[in-house]
Structure 1
Amino acid sequence: MNQLEKVYGKDLNGFLESVKKPNSRLYVRVNTLKATVDEVLQSLQEFEKDEDFPEAIYAKVRGPNKLESLESKVIVDKKTAESVMLGANVYPPGIKKIISEGKSVEVVSENGITVANGELVRLPGGKFMVKVYNSLYSSPKLADMKELKEGKIYVQGKASMYVARIVDPQPGEFIVDMTAAPGGKLSHIYQLEPRAKIIGFDHTYKKVDKMKHLLKKMNVDAQVFVHDSRYLKELGIKDVDKVLIDPPCSALGLRPKVYDKKTRIDLMNLQAYQKQFLNSAYEILKKGGKVIYSTCTVTETENEEVINDPRFEIEYIIRFHPQVHDMTGFFIAKLRKK
C-alpha cells in the first residue's frame, strides 16, 4: 500500500476502486498477415475500429449487471472468478467448493464476491462445471470464436499494443524479445515489420512449444528458443538493435481483480529479477541500441527504479492508469545504450 500511495497519493482510492472493474472496452488485435480488419468486422459485428491503431478493434463491456442471490453456491479461485466476472464458464480446475447442489447457482470468489449466476452441470466422471448465463459484466466470449482459433485475431489489451508501436521495428533490424511467451508482443512486432529479424526466448519448453504453434497459426516467421534470457551473452548473441523486456512483475495494474496480495518483499525480489534482464540487454545490445521495457504494474520499485541505470539514457516513459485512462495499469520506457 505504501508503494501504491507513493504513485497515487490522494487518488489511491480511485486506483483501488478502478482495478475492481474491467476496462470498458474488450480489445483484440486483427492479425493483418491473415485477414483485413474489414473482413474480421464483417463476422464480429459486436466489434468496432479503434481510434488510434488500425489493427485494433474492440467491443464494449457492459455492466455491472444485477445478479441473483441463491442458496446453491460454487466457490471458485481468484483467476477463475476474474474470468467468470466477464462471462467465462467455470471448469473443474477452478472450483474450490460447492455449497448445496442446485440447478441454478451463484458463482462466488474465494474472498466472497459474487461474480455470476449459472447452471451447475455434472460432467462424465462426476466432476462439475458451471455454464454461466449472467455475469457481473458481459462481453463477447472470445474463446469460442473461429477467428481466434484460425489466428486471424489475438486477444490483447490496448495498453499492451503500445509496446510494439514503441519498439517501432524497421526493415533489417535485429530485435530480441527476452520474455516472449505467450507471443502477443512478438507477433505484433512482426506484423508491423516482417522484414525485421526477430527472435524470442522463454526458459520453459512448454511455453516455447505453445508459442511455436501460435506463431505458425498466425503466419509469423520468427524463431523462438528455450533459454534463460538473463544469460543470452553465452549464446554469442551481440550487436542487437532493439531488446524488448516484458519481465515477470506484480501485475498490480491488471483488472478486474477480486483481490490481490503482494508484499514489499515480493516487489523487491521482482525488482532484483527484472534488473538481471536489463543487465543482459546491455551485454547484447550494440552501442546506441534500444531497450523497450514494459510491465503491467504501477509501482516505482518495478519500473522507474529498475530503468534508472547510468548505462542507459531514458528516451521516454509512458504510464497508463486504470482510473485515468480506462486501461490496464501499464508502464513502458524506451532506453538507449550509452
Structure 2
Amino acid sequence: MFDKQDWLSKPPKFTTFRVNTLKSFNCNILEDFLLKQSEELNATVLKFHFLRSDCLVLERWSKNVTMETSDNEVIVDPLCAAAVLRGAHVFAPGVMGLPTSCKLGDRVDIYGDLDGQCKRGLKVKYTGKKLYVGTGYLKMLRCDLFDNGIQPSGIAIHTLLPASRLPVVNETLYPKGEILLQNLPSIVCGWVVNAKPTELILDMCAAPGNKTTHLAEMSNNQAIIIAIDKTPQKATKIRINCDTQGVTCVSAYPYDSTKICSEISSDVNGGPPFPPNCFDKVLLDAPCSGLGQRPQLVNKLTPKMIQSYKFVQRKLLCAAVNVLKVGGKLIYSTCTITDDENERMIAWALEKFPCLTLVPAEPLLGGPGQPSCGLSDEQRVMVQRFGPEDDVLRPVESIYKDTIGFFIATFIKN
C-alpha cells in the first residue's frame, strides 16, 4: 500500500526529455557527457533509453554514488530545492543564505528551507527546518547574490549530485530546441492527442507551449494548430518556443479561452473568438491546483483555493465543447490528483453535455480513474491517472507510476 503523501514528497526516479523529431538527435553527445560525469562521481555510466523516438528516459545513479558532506551549507527556497532534487542547477534567485567564508569553486551542500523562515542574505548557519537536497560547486559570490540591489541571475551553484541521485543534464547540452525537459505524463498527453497533418487543432491553455510544440512535431509540422493563453506575454512565450523548436504550423493568440466561441465568427483565420463546431481536436490542459507535482516540499494552497479551480475548468470545458466539430476529439488533462478536478469533472461533463461520449484515452499507460468518484468501472478504465495507486482494473509499468500526478480523459462529440 502506497503512502500518497510520502510519494508526493519525493522526486520521480526517472528524468524524461522530449526529443524534437523535427531535428536530428546525436546520442553521442549524451553518452560523452554521462561518461564524464561518471568519472567525476566515480560511478558506473548511467543508463538511458527511448520509450518512443520523442521520449528519452534517464535512470538514477546507483545507490553507492555518494558525496562526503562539506563545511559549507547553502540555503535555498523550497521551489529551488525541489528543482535540485529533479536534477537542476541552483539559479541565483533561489539562494537565501550563504556563508561569508565561501569562495568561488568551493564545494557546498545545498539545503532547502522548509519553514520559509530563512531571511535572504543569511550569513550564519540556518537553524530552522531544512532538507539536504544535493551538493555542488559555488559559481557566484555573496556580493553577486545579495549586494548589488538588483535581482541576480544565472547559475549560482553548479549541482554535481542531487540527494535523489538523478542526473544533472541541462537542456543546453544540445543546441536550442533539440531536447526539452518534460514530465512523462505531459508527453503521454501529446501521444493521446495524436496530431495528424492537416488537422485543425486548438490548444486552449497553451503557455509556455511545451504540449503545443509536441503536437506540431508529431504532425511533422503539418497540422494547423492554434494556441491560446490569456496574456500577450504568454502568447509571446509560445511563439518563442515555436521558433526555437523550428515549428511553423502554430498561430498563438492572447485571449480568454472561456470566451473562445462566438456565433458571429465566420472562420478561424482571423484569430479568436471562433465559430462553433470548427476544430477537429481540442486540447484542454486545464489550469489546476497542481497537486501532482513532485517533489512537494511545501504546499501553501488552502482548501478554498483548491476548490476554486473546478469552476474555471467547467467554463473552459463548455467553451471546448462549443468549438469542437461533431466527430471531433476533446482531450482534458490536469497535473493534479484531486477527484473534483479529475474524475468528478469528467462525470460532470458527461451529464452536462449529452453530445459527449467518453472514449479510451489511448495509449492507456497510466492507471484507471479512482473508484467512487462519479465514474463507473467501465468509465474508469477509459481515463488514465498517473499516481502511486494499484488497481486491479489495469496494471501499470513502474515508470508510469513513478512520475508526477497527472490525469487524462478523452471525449468524442456526437
Question: TM tier, shorter chain?
Answer: 0.7 to 0.9
Paired residues of 2:13 and 2:166 also in contact (CA < 8 A): no
User: 3-state SS of the aligned residue for 2:318?
Assistant: helix
Greater Cα shift, 82-91 or 101-110: 101-110
Tell me the distance in 1 between the aligned counterparts of 2:199 and 2:217.
14
User: 3-state SS of the aligned residue for 1:265?
Assistant: helix
Q: Which has the higher helix share?
A: 1
Per the alignment, residue 75 of structure 2 pairs with 75
Per the alignment, residue 95 of structure 2 pairs with 95
- Shift of the alpha carbon at 1:320? 1.3
- Shift of the alpha carbon at 1:307? 2.1
User: Normalising to structure 2: TM-score of the pair?
Assistant: 0.71
* Pair 1:61–1:206, CA change in 2 (3 A): farther
Paired residues of 1:30 and 1:40 also in contact (CA < 8 A): no
Tell me the distance in 2 between the aligned counterparts of 1:134 and 1:159.
25
* Pair 1:69–1:124, CA change in 2 (3 A): closer
- Shift of the alpha carbon at 1:302? 0.8
Paired residues of 2:171 and 2:180 also in contact (CA < 8 A): no
Tell me the distance in 1 between the aligned counterparts of 2:162 and 2:191.
34
Report whether the alignment pairs 1:217 with 2:236.
Answer: no
Per the alignment, residue 119 of structure 2 pairs with none
List gaps (5 residues or longer) in structure 1: 1-10
Structure having the higher Rg: 2
Greater Cα shift, 70-79 or 299-308: 70-79
Tell me the distance in 1 between the aligned counterparts of 2:217 and 2:408.
20
Per the alignment, residue 3 of structure 1 pairs with none
Higher relative contact order (CA 8 A, sep 6+): 1
- Shift of the alpha carbon at 1:278? 0.5
- Shift of the alpha carbon at 1:192? 1.3
User: Normalising to structure 1: TM-score of the pair?
Assistant: 0.86
Tell me the distance in 1 between the aligned counterparts of 2:320 and 2:171.
38
Q: Partner letter of residue 305 of structure 2?
A: D
Identity of aligned residues (%): 30
Query: For 1:237, which of 245, 250, 274 is the aligned residue?
Result: 274
List gaps (5 residues or longer) in structure 2: 35-46, 115-129, 147-151, 263-271, 360-381, 391-400
Residues 237-274 of structure 1, C-alpha deviations (whole Å, 9 max, x = no match) = 13111110112212222212223333321221011111
Q: Partner letter of residue 78 of structure 2?
A: K
Tell me the distance in 2 between the aligned counterparts of 1:228 and 1:307.
22
* Pair 1:48–1:72, CA change in 2 (3 A): closer
* Pair 1:84–1:101, CA change in 2 (3 A): farther
Query: For 1:317, which of 375, 383, 390 is the aligned residue?
Result: 383
Greater Cα shift, 282-291 or 195-204: 282-291
Query: For 1:106, which of 104, 109, 112 is the aligned residue?
Result: 109
Report whether the alignment pairs 1:33 with 2:22.
Answer: yes
Tell me the distance in 2 between the aligned counterparts of 1:91 and 1:190.
31
Per the alignment, residue 301 of structure 1 pairs with 340
* Pair 1:144–1:198, CA change in 2 (3 A): closer
Per the alignment, residue 203 of structure 1 pairs with 230
RMSD: 2.5
Paired residues of 1:267 and 1:301 also in contact (CA < 8 A): no
